[in-house]
Amino acid sequence: MLPALRLKPSVKARTEGQDKLTFATLLRSKTYRGNVLIYAACSASFFAWLTGSPFILSAMGYSPAVIGLSYVPQTIAFLIGGYGCRAALQKWQGYQLLPWLLGLYALSVIATWGAGLLNNASLVEILIPFCVMAIANGAIYPIVVAQALRPFPQATGRAAALQNTLQLGLCFLASLVVSWLISTPLLTTTSVMLSTVVLAALGYKMQSHADCAEAEFHHANVAHDKSH
């Protein structure tokens, strides 16, 4: 009985803390918004390709078997990015890796878009930069997800739920645009992918400003404590 009575107040306090943290509170955090926007933008690029690639490869004359096999190198590349990020985090912090990974993401998406502008572009010419993008995505995801949830340790479930909702919403929008303009599948798909670079850059700028403000606040507090 006594252990049970001791547990009740802590459970109640945690529940009350979670109730006070609304979705609006989450969205007011620049750190949260910025990292979620990066996560959603990178995911939307993938979804744009998944929507348009069957039409692109079919127009190139490839069979359904080849279309299915084309997803194998992308999946392997994504896994390499994820495991590579895990190894890199043993040596560097996530905030140190993120700008380099976003740069790699931007360059690979631009290269994919550029390959789509070539006359008679081959599957290999498109898949090489796309697989580089998959590597970047695999490494970016764990970093931005962790950074988005970090300010809300008391309500990670709610923060993760909103994060996934926003991610899937942007992915749906990207797929919808590709489907709507599918008469030019390659140009439409790569152009939608290119637009996600702008969104990812906005997300990075947003969360960077939040981190700078947080660092300045911390330094000010440290200086104030030392003066006393």
User: Residue 127's closest CA among 75, 73, 64, 81?
Assistant: 73
User: Residue 74's closest CA among 155, 32, 131?
Assistant: 131
pLDDT of res. 160? 94
pLDDT of res. 55? 95
pLDDT of res. 7? 44
pLDDT of res. 22? 86
CA distance 149 to 152: 6
User: Residue 42's closest CA among 76, 91, 82, 90?
Assistant: 82
pLDDT of res. 19? 52
Q: Could you tell me where the DSSP H helices lie in 21-122? A: 23-28, 30-59, 64-69, 71-88, 94-117
Averaged pLDDT, 63-85: 95
What pTM was computed for the model? 0.83
User: Residue 197's closest CA among 136, 122, 124, 121?
Assistant: 136
Give residues with Cβ within 8 angstroms of 177, minimum separation 6: 48, 188, 192
Give the length of the chain.
228
pLDDT band at 58 (very low <50, low <70, confident <90, very high): very high
- Judge contact between 67 and 57, C-beta under 8 A: yes
- Judge contact between 45 and 190, C-beta under 8 A: no
Model pLDDT for residues 87-138, shown as the tens digit of each residue: 999 999 999 999 999 999 999 999 999 998 988 888 999 999 999 999 999 9
CA distance 202 to 76: 28
What are the distances in angstroms from CA 186 to CA 37, 110, 137?
25, 13, 21
Task: Kindly state the tokens that stand for 203.
Answer: 């997300």
Model pLDDT for residues 171-227, shown as the tens digit of each residue: 999 999 999 999 999 999 999 999 999 999 999 999 987 655 554 433 434 344 455
In order of their start, the domains of the chain are 29-219 (1.20.1250.20)
CA distance 228 to 225: 5
pLDDT of res. 177? 97
CA-CA-CA-CA dihedral for 27, 28, 30, 36, to nearest 10: 0
